[in-house]
Amino acid sequence: MRVRQIFQFTYCLALTFLLVGLLSEGPAQATIQGISGISFTLVAAPGYIKTPEGNSIFFWGLGSDVNHVQYPGPTLILNEGDTITITLYSALPQPVSLVFPGQEQVQAQGGSQGKVTREATPGRPVTYTFVAAHPGTYLYYSGTNMALQHEMGLFGAIIVRPAGFDPNAPTAYGTSDSRYDREYLFMISEMDPDIHRLVEEGRYSEIENADVFPTYYFINGRNAPDTMAPAFAEWLPTQPYNCMPLMHPGERLLMRIIGAGRDNHPYHFHGNHAKVIAEDGRLLSSGPGKGADLGYSRFTISAVPGHTYDAIFQWTGREMGWDYYGHTSLSDPIERGELAVTATLEAPLSAGSAQVTLGGQGEKEFPMYREVRCLIWSKAYPSPDKDPNREVVKVKRASGNLFTISRGLEGTTARAWSEGDYVAITDHGRPFPVVLPENQNLTFGAFYSGSPYLGNAGNLPPGEGGLNPFSGFFYMWHSHNEKELLNNNIFPGGAMTMLGILPYNAPIE
Amino acid sequence: MKIHHLRTTLFSGAKGPDWLLWVMVVALMSLFTAPCGAAAAEFYLRAAATTMVMPTGEQVTVWGFAKDSSFGAKDGVVTVPGPVLELPPGDTTLVIHLDNDLPEPVSIMVKGLVGSMTPVRLPDGRIRALNKEAQPGNSEPVTYTWTNVHPGTMMYQSASHLSVQVQMGLYGAVVAKADTGRAYDTDPSRYDSEVLLVLGEIDPDLHQAVASGNFGPGKAVTSAIGYRPKYFFINGRSYTPGVYEPAGHPGQRVLVRIVNACLTQRSLVFGGRYVLEIGDGGFPLPFPPQHFAVFIAAGGTKDVIIESAPAGDLPVWDERLGLTNGGLTDGGIFTYLRFQ
């Protein structure tokens, strides 16, 4: 991407950060915008959305009244076990209905019977009830003339919180492996503006649904770079939801991905793999109590039409090759997120030993063939910075859970350790492996803080950088079907946003 | 016939059998061990053209398969999808004798079964067809044998000129039964009744070009690159009011075998109910996941179980929205599973 393009493209991002900085009062859990409760009124009516390159597209949306419809429809945030009532009113020229895949005891009253469920027409609303019996990520959409009405925008997300949900220790499914620090919604869809124009002009007979040729791609109803603008931005009245994932290193970010269009959207996230723990609102589990033991790691999640996915994304400095905190000494404080993988000694380790067996939760996540820099510290201390005798070692897997170990690095002393003591991968104190070029030899991106270290700003020439006030790291998260990075053939745009990794002192709302 | 002839020679006529003949007999018998050991499901398929009437009234030439009683009998009905090739439990051999009444060479392969393929090559060595071919108007059947058939839902299709012949309709389902009441050798695959859904689609313009001889190099339509299907089918039918598939009784475990012969993926929704995915591509899934939308890759198969559906018609639709018939809305890959 050329610098100028990045500039245009990130203007809104800077604005976002500005607002975030002004409004935040310290760290808080980022969450998904939506409406909560057990009883909802939704009105289906026409409206217009805006696209970043300046277009305005006629659509059919859902909202609280005819003047406040939105794309996608409101995200319904429900609680497990609640009986939900949704009354659908229509101001559309053809019957409309709603279906709720994955919900239980779905019933419909009123209106008239359609092919799939009961349908609403102006003056004849339908009341749907269902039991949100299971936690998870779901969607709802029109069950009438679906080829056209899904295209026109009649769908939305449903999130069901697990029983006993604690906002201060949230989980997606009530299991420990579904716990998260932040959650974001990625509802991916597309539009063919020609069809919308035919509907706007009432030329229904000219619509050929099988000839759909989308040219706009959306995350949560917005195209990039609007995805990164604030939620409820007043200049996007019918597209209230943004998609601006931000996190601190080491946190668990829950991605709730929904394929809401007719096409597959290969949603690709830079920075790390994510572990898919659930599909269609069901934990990928081999049995009760086993958690997401059938989960799988992916760097692209193919959002298939009508499917939902829950994935846990984590990012640390692990295996980056340098200490991105810029620490110079072991006496610097250990940062949260630095020690994402912690194993325990399965047997005592004598001072002269070069072999160690590791167990515990983190053991399997030690790399197979690479030597990694680790810390050993006593189980008497919760973290290595509390243990004055902690030791810097290099660890490489030999076979199974047997590791070879190099001792006494960087001024520490090879000591004897006990069974149960901790071993954690760290890049703490590792210097940046290369000398950075002089500024006159660099081309700057608007995101570059002037420093390769998280949270550090360096000297930049006048007019460079400036869109990264907290000196974070940024990764593009986008549909990897590259034409979906366009807004009606204009790059960049489409189903794309950026993940921001912010240092701990940066607030995230 | 050949084995029989040799045996006759050996045991009735010859006084001192030649050792070379013995070697040949042993070699031939080992080749045919499996057909001799188990009952073979044997089908006489004929590839031929026919006409389908679309819901809009448009008549489209399609290529399909017919199941004849013997080679040359030509007594089967040409259908799209082709006839279901069903193997009873324990039957591990599938034999297809192919007759070709189409204007170009046709061959057969079964996706999901390992078999020896005999590709047809161009003079420069490049593969032109994936398996040995029956020439137009062949006087002898071309026979294909699979000796390792495992239980599951699979798809057969033409292995020649695939970009044209598959979309013209040369495909169908292979259903190999495990034992009574189970789709596979797994507990979750047990079922009370079963339904087969073969998904398909048609681009009438491409069919017209092929049928009228306007397809190919130097002709009006040079390739299938502009393929744009306009009609969408379940079991060869677009949805029309009154259409349903008998599925079983309320509360039963109903096995739905899905074969996707479309050139794109499909995402089937069963009224929003969860279904259990117990098979994928003709093999069992050891830990069947629950889904409310079933992804079936192009050319792939899935087996799902619907549990405890109530009495009534359960709507089934494609969330990839292949739900139209030409310009007509509300049709395509949509049907009802009737529980009564």
Tell whether A284 lies on the interface with B, counting CB pairs under 8 A: yes
pLDDT for B258: 98
Task: Give residue A359's identity as a one-letter amino acid code.
Answer: G
Contact residues on chain A for B271, CB-CB shorter than 8 A: 99, 116
Q: Percentage of chain A surpassing pLDDT 90?
A: 70
Chain position carrying tokens 């229904």: A204
Task: Please state, as a whole number, how many other Cβ atoms lie within 10 Å of the Cβ of residue A68.
Answer: 16
Taking one residue from A and the other from B, the number of pairs with CB-CB distance under 8 angstroms is: 95
Nearby residues of A147 by Cβ (< 8 Å), 6 or more positions away = A209, A210, A262, B321, B322, B323, B324, B329, B332
* Secondary structure of residue A76 in the 3-state scheme: strand
Task: Give residue B291's identity as a one-letter amino acid code.
Answer: H
The full set of domains in chain A, from first to last, is 13-35+75-81+139-314 (2.60.40), 342-425 (no CATH)
DSSP classification of residue B221: B
Contact residues on chain A for B315, CB-CB shorter than 8 A: 115-116
CATH 2.60.40.420 fits B40-183, yes or no: yes
Q: In sequence order, what are the beta bridge partners of B336?
A: B315
For residue A431, cis peptide bond before it (omega within 30 degrees of 0): no
Residue A432 has pLDDT above 50, yes or no: yes
On the question of a common fold for B40-183 and B197-339, the answer reads yes
Distances (CA, A) of A501 to A230, A247, A506: 17, 5, 10
Contact residues on chain B for A151, CB-CB shorter than 8 A: 321
Instruction: Retrieve residue A275's tokens.
Output: 């572990």
Among A262, A238, A303, A231, CA closest to A141: A262
Distances (CA, A) of B232 to B79, B126, B237, B318, B322: 15, 34, 8, 10, 6
* Secondary structure of residue B151 in the 3-state scheme: coil
pLDDT for B35: 41
State which H helix or E strand residue A13 sits in. Answer: helix A3-23
Mean pLDDT of A149-162: 98
Phi-psi region of A439 (alpha: psi -120 to 50; beta: other; left: phi over 0): alpha
More confident residue, A28 or A69: A69
pLDDT for A332: 67
Closest residue in chain A to residue B331, using alpha carbons only: A145
Q: How many helices (H) and strands (E) does chain A have?
A: 3, 30
Mean pLDDT value across chain A? 89
Closest residue in chain A to residue B274, using alpha carbons only: A102
Closest residue in chain A to residue B275, using alpha carbons only: A102
Using an 8 Å Cβ cutoff, are A315 and A246 in contact?
A: no
Give dist(CA A31, CA A137) in Å, integer: 14
Give dist(CA B242, CA A227) in Å, integer: 45
Task: Give residue B274's identity as a one-letter amino acid code.
Answer: Y
Mean pLDDT of A277-302: 96
Give dist(CA B43, CA A396) in Å, integer: 59
Give dist(CA B141, CA B98) in Å, integer: 5
The listed CATH number (2.60.40.420, 3.40.50.620, 3.40.50.800, 3.40.50.2000) that belongs to domain B197-339: 2.60.40.420
Mean pLDDT of A378-404: 90
CA angle A190, A193, A196 (to 5 degrees): 105
User: Residues 85 to 144 of B: which have CB under 8 A from any A CB?
Assistant: none
pLDDT for A243: 97
For A298-337, write each residue's pLDDT tens digit: 999 999 999 999 999 999 877 777 888 777 666 666 666 6
In chain B, where are the structural domains located? Answer: 2-29, 40-183, 197-339
More confident residue, A428 or B46: B46
Distances (CA, A) of A396 to A364, A368, A403, A423, B318: 12, 8, 5, 12, 50
pLDDT for B122: 95
Give dist(CA B149, CA B92) in Å, integer: 4
Q: Percentage of chain A surpassing pLDDT 70?
A: 91
Highest mean pLDDT among A212-221, A311-320, A429-438, B320-329: A212-221
pLDDT below 70 — which residues of chain B? 1-39
Task: Please state, as a whole number, how many other Cβ atoms lie within 10 Å of the Cβ of residue A366.
Answer: 19
Tell whether B55 lies on the interface with A, counting CB pairs under 8 A: no
Instruction: Retrieve residue A279's tokens.
Output: 């599909």
Q: Can you give the pTM of this predicted structure?
A: 0.87
pLDDT for A250: 83
Give dist(CA B160, CA B32) in Å, integer: 26
pLDDT for B334: 97
Using an 8 Å Cβ cutoff, are A138 and A100 in contact?
A: yes
For A90-101, write each residue's pLDDT tens digit: 999 999 999 999
pLDDT for A330: 62
For B224-266, write each residue's pLDDT tens digit: 999 999 999 999 999 988 989 999 999 999 999 999 999 999 9
Give dist(CA A286, CA A290) in Å, integer: 7
pLDDT for A4: 38
Tell whether B310 lies on the interface with A, counting CB pairs under 8 A: no
Among A346, A352, A334, A344, CA closest to A405: A352
pLDDT for A64: 95
Give dist(CA B280, CA B282) in Å, integer: 6
pLDDT for A110: 98
Phi, psi of B56 (to 5 degrees): -80, -5
